[in-house]
Every structure is written in structure tokens, then in C-alpha cells.
Structure 1
Amino acid sequence: MNSMETITTLNVTEIEPRFRHPIIFEQFDSLEAGDSFIISIDHDPKPLYYQLIAERGNIFSWEYLASGPENWQVKIERTKPEEAEATIGEIVASDYRKAQVFKKFGIDFCCGGKKTVSEVCNRKGIDISEVKQQLAAMDGDQGSPSQNYQSWELDFLCDYIVSTHHRYVKDTLPFLSEISAKVARVHGYSHPEVVVAANAFAGVAADLSAHLLKEEKVLFPYIKQLVAAKRENSALPQAPFGEVSNPIQMMEAEHEHAGEDMSEIRTVTNNFTAPDDACTSYRILYKMLQEFESDLHQHIHLENNILFSKAVELEKTWNN
């Protein structure tokens, strides 16, 4: 787009809700590579971001120009093919060891996996050359072998996630909930941050319990049916939710919320650093919260960046 041209701005609040996303998609589809437009809305349009990724792929950039609380503005640009850059999720999906580099720089590779390294570094003021240098160093370092999740069949990956990560969450939530409430009750008067952490974790526990149920009862069974249909060369199963991208968008939004809550806990606990006067329960709580967050990161990475993206592609391929 010529620098002298005015970028179109869509005031989404003036559009009837049921027509908003179709009109935004129509505007996006009309763009030439390098062109952009701005949407103005009264709330964070993050669900639209997930829908664009699911239905159009990584062919756009997403830049917040205003972030509320009353007005949100996002510039959406259709990227040029030669400018296409692998997302953080794609990088970690191809080599999970690189997650350690992103962790070191405080870059979210699970919930924020659909963003590019450049996008995140620019937004957070991180030296992108240093990040790319450390990522490149791993290409020449064989290191220890890691699971090649990319090569797994999706039905097997579903079962692995349930038996490994879902089981860990279910086994850990009751004790973590109990000990966080206990530490908050005993030490909250002198360390108010543990009260904030306990309240935030209570929200995580409630949300994840419902979230896992939806995945195990609705989404994962459908993904496994997709795999079976391809394997048996049979018709696609009928789903009550339409395309698989619909529940996936909901799951990714819930992942984002859980990640934000855990990030809040990490912040208020000073990176899970127990104070000098902390008792044994206090120290155990922080150690377990840190382990829980680490497991959640890999859990969400496997779903967002591998399982979900492959399921969307499988369904589209099979429909064609």
C-alpha cells in the first residue's frame, strides 16, 4: 500500500454482531499482499485472531494500536509471501529443545505460539538478533533426543495428552488447591502475595477441570474420528459444532486464559521464589506451582501448535 494512502478503518461496533466476522473476513480477503486495514472495537478481538489463523493460516500480521479498556484497535496486514516467518509454535514443534530459548527470554511458546519471533521481540523490546543467534546455535547442537511429536498420528497424540498431561492435572489439582489455600490462610497476613496466588490458582483449577472434560468428551473423540475416516477412506463424521476450528478456537481462548493466570502467579510470587521465613508447605507450594506451569506449557504447546493445527488441516484436506 502506498504510504500516502489512508488505511481503511472498520468500526466494528457499528456492525450487527452476526455480520461482524463475515465483513472482516471479506475485507481481509480483498487485500493484496502488503495491504492492511484497521478494526476498531470495544473489547479485545482475540477470538477473531484465532479464527483468522484457523481459516486463513499464517498469512497476516496482527498489531495492537490501542488496547482498551474502552477502545481496541488492531491493524491487520496481509503479509507478502517472501516475508512469511515461522511462528514460535512452529519452531518449537519442529524442535522442542528451542522452548528453552524462549523460556529464557520470557517468550510464551504455547499460548502465544501463533506469533512470530519478530512480532514478540518488537512488542517486548527483546534483542531479536540474540534470540535468533541462540536458536541457530541449537541447530548445530544435536543435544539430547526429544520426542518427535510431529510424526505421531493424531489419535495417538490425543491419547498421549490425556494419559500424560490431563492425568497430571487431575492428580495435581486437589493437592495444589488445598496447599495453596492453607498457605494463604496461614501466611497471607504477612505475605499478601500468596493470597493473590491462591485466588488465581483457584480460577485455574475450576477452568481447567471443565476444559479437560470438553476436550475428552467432545473435541478429542471427533479428531480421532477424523483420523479413522482418513485411514479407512470413509466419509467425514458429522459434528454438532460444524468445523473443528470452532471448538478449537474456544479451547485456545481457554488456554490463553489459563496461561495468563499462571503468568500472574509467577509474577506475584517473584518467579516462585519463597521468602526466607517460608515454612515447608510454603516451599512445597512454590515448587509444585513451578512444575505445574512447566507441564502446562508443554501440554498447551502439544495441543495448540501440533494437534489442533493438524486437525484443522486434516479436516480441510478431507473435505476437498
Structure 2
Amino acid sequence: MNQADTLYVPALAPALKHPTIFKHFDALPPGNAFQIINDHDPKPLYYQLLAERGNIFQWQYLENGPEQWVVEIKKNEAGITIGEIVAKDIRKAGVFKKFGIDFCCGGKKTLKQACEKAQVDVATVEAALENADAHTTTPAFDFSRWEADFLTDYIYNQHHVYYYQEGPVILELAEKVTARHGAQHQNLCLVLALYKKLQEELNAHFLKEENILFPFIKGLVAAKKAKNEGLLYEFLSISEPIEMMESEHEIAGELLGHLRLATDDFTPPAGSCNSFRLLYSKLQDLEADLQQHIHLENNILFPKALALEKELSKG
């Protein structure tokens, strides 16, 4: 990458820093990248770029401080993202699951990028997506039309409550099955350890959503409806809790992937007892529920909240 493809941000006047970066990004051909060098973490720029340009870029740290931060910003090739495809039609999620394409944590990739990562043919997936239109019924809910505050309530009641009810049952089953069959099936010890780690992550994550992020989003909606910015909670920006939630989603996604590997795609061994089969079935159901949960937040709720904050900030 030559010097023309690199912006040294500290040399720019404060009022010109973000406008200059945006101008550089807008002029960038799809598929190309440039680098910015800064004297502090430019993460706020990431969220401004996301809010004003959408999920059409990739952000990669090449150096991460403490004295210098270097970030490569790459404009995606033409085409909407996986997350946007599923946000518009949840029926498409089944197609992506079939091909092993991550539509929740990996929702910011374009179809071509996602297919390359999953090592599947783009044309084959595109045909399957078109086939989904013809052979599946209209989805029950169009989540993209929902107000952000209503969506937070739905996520809590549909997904948080599900986990609070099923989580302890899965833990009890995992401990029971491991105690009885762990000597014969040594992978069960790993399954139990992974599930306990996942449960630890989710317990802390859901509390943050319920006590910090969701109330903040409801505050944004209330402020918009009342046309009163004074109703907002005293956060610097909603981008900070969203960044934390997305990072924790990545951790949960990795743990789910490890669980799938440890259970051979949730396939119990031949001759397994009812408890063994039930454990794997419930783990698979939990994975599906968490994928839908993360998709709703990463690809619908969070962009709505960022756009709403941007709208309010303009007065």
C-alpha cells in the first residue's frame, strides 16, 4: 500500500479529520482499502462510519497502540450483507444455516465474502435463496419494521426468558449425562466445560443488556417521540455498549462452534440413552435460539439504535 493510500490523522485539523476520512472512503472503489494512522484508538470513527454508510466496509487493526493505532478500512464489493439479507427475510436464515454460513456474528460480510469463508459456491447459494422465496411461507414477523423499544421487549421475552428457563435444565442434563457416560464418551467432559463457560458468558451478557443497553435504547425512542433530548440517559454514546455487546456475541458464537464440534454436530452416539439424546437436542435448540437472538441484535436492533442516536444528535 503506497503513501497515497494512507492518512496520517494527527496532521489534520480537528474539524477536518472525520470529513477527510469519509471523503477518502467514498472515493474508494469497491474491494479496495486504505489505512489510517492515529495517536489514539479511532473506534468512534468505526461507529460513525457504520451509522452513516452502513455495513459496507471491513475494519482491521494492524497496530493497536499504545503509541500508534493503524487501521485498514476496506470497502466491500458491491452487494448487500448477509445480515441485511436475513433482516429483510428471516426465511433466508435456513439457507445460510444449511451451507454453514454465519448470518448472526458474521452478518456484516457480503454474500461473496461469506461463501468464500464457508468454501461454498456463490451461485449454488444464490439459487437456494431464490428457491426459499418460492417454497416457504411468508415469515410471521417483519422485525425490520418494529420500533427499537418494542424489539428490545421481544428479545427479552422471546430469547432471554427462553434461556432462563432452559439454561438450568441443560446444565442439569449435562452434569447427569457426563457423570453416567463420561468415562465411555470422554468428549462429554469438554461439552460440560464449554456449556458452563457459555452459561457464564450469557448470564453476565443478558444482565448488561437488560440493565444498560435496553433501557438506553428505550430512552432514545422516548426522546424521539417526546422531541426532548433531555430524556436521554447520561451515556457518552450508545456505540460503546453496542461495541461491548457485539464483542460478547463473538465469544458466544465461538463457544457455540466449539460445542457443535465437541458433539459431532449434536449427533448422539448410536444406542444413547434418552437423557443423552435430550441433552444434544436441547443444545441444538439453544444454538438456534441464540443465532436468532444475535441476528436480531447485530443486524436489526443495533443499526436501528445507532441511526436513532444519529438522528437525535442532529436535532
> Which interval holds the TM-score relative to the shorter structure?
0.7 to 0.9
> Which stretch shows the higher mean deviation, 247-256 or 137-146?
137-146
Secondary structure of 1:96's partner? coil
Q: Mapping of 1:1-320 within 5 angstroms? A: 30-31=24-25, 32-34=27-29, 35-37=32-34, 53=50, 56-61=53-58, 76-79=73-76, 83-141=77-135, 143-235=137-229, 237-320=231-314
- Distance in 1 between residues matched to 2:45 and 2:164, nearest whole Å: 31
Deviations 1:193-246 (A, max 9, x none): 111111111011011111111111111011111111111221154444411111
Alignment gaps of 5+ in structure 2: 11-16, 38-42, 63-69
Contact 2:47 2:239 in 1 (8 A): no
Return the offset for 1:289.
0.3
**Change beyond 3 A, Cα 1:298–1:176:** same
Aligned residues: 293
Check 1:288–1:128 CA distance in 2 against 1; reply closer, same or farther (3 A cut): same
Instruction: Report the CA distance between 1:76 and its aligned residue.
Output: 3.2
AA in 1 matched with 2:191: A
Answer yes or no: is the 8 Å Cα contact 1:7–1:36 preserved in 2.
no
Instruction: Determine if contact 1:236/1:318 at 8 Å carries over to the other structure.
Output: no
Q: Deviations over 1:26-53 (max 9, x none)?
A: 767644312423689xxxxx99977864
Deviates more, 1:251-260 or 1:46-55: 46-55
User: RMSD of aligned C-alpha atoms?
Assistant: 3.2
How far 1:181 moved relative to its partner?
A: 2.0
Whether contact under 8 Å (2:224, 2:312) holds in the other structure is yes
Which string of whole-angstrom CA distances, capped at 9 and with x for unpartnered residues, describes residues 256-280 of structure 1? 1111101111111111110113222
- Alignment gaps of 5+ in structure 1: 16-22, 41-45, 66-72
Note if contact 2:87-2:300 (Cα within 8 Å) is conserved in structure 1: yes
Letter in 2 for 1:159: D
Higher mean displacement: 124-133 or 48-57: 48-57
Aligned to 1:70: none
1:7/1:38 contact within 8 Å kept: no
In structure 1, distance between residues paired with 2:294 and 2:56: 23
**SS at the partner of 2:34?**
strand
User: For 2:61 and 2:114, how far apart are their aligned partners in 1?
Assistant: 12
Cα distance in structure 1, aligned partners of 2:245 and 2:121? 32
CA distance in structure 1 between the aligned counterparts of 2:270 and 2:296, rounded to whole angstroms: 37
The residue identity in structure 1 corresponding to 2:118 is K
Percent identity, please.
48
Determine if contact 2:57/2:74 at 8 Å carries over to the other structure. Answer: yes
| Corresponding residue for residue 66 of structure 2 | none
> Structure 1 residue 173: deviation in Å?
1.1
Deviation at 1:78, TM superposition (A): 3.0
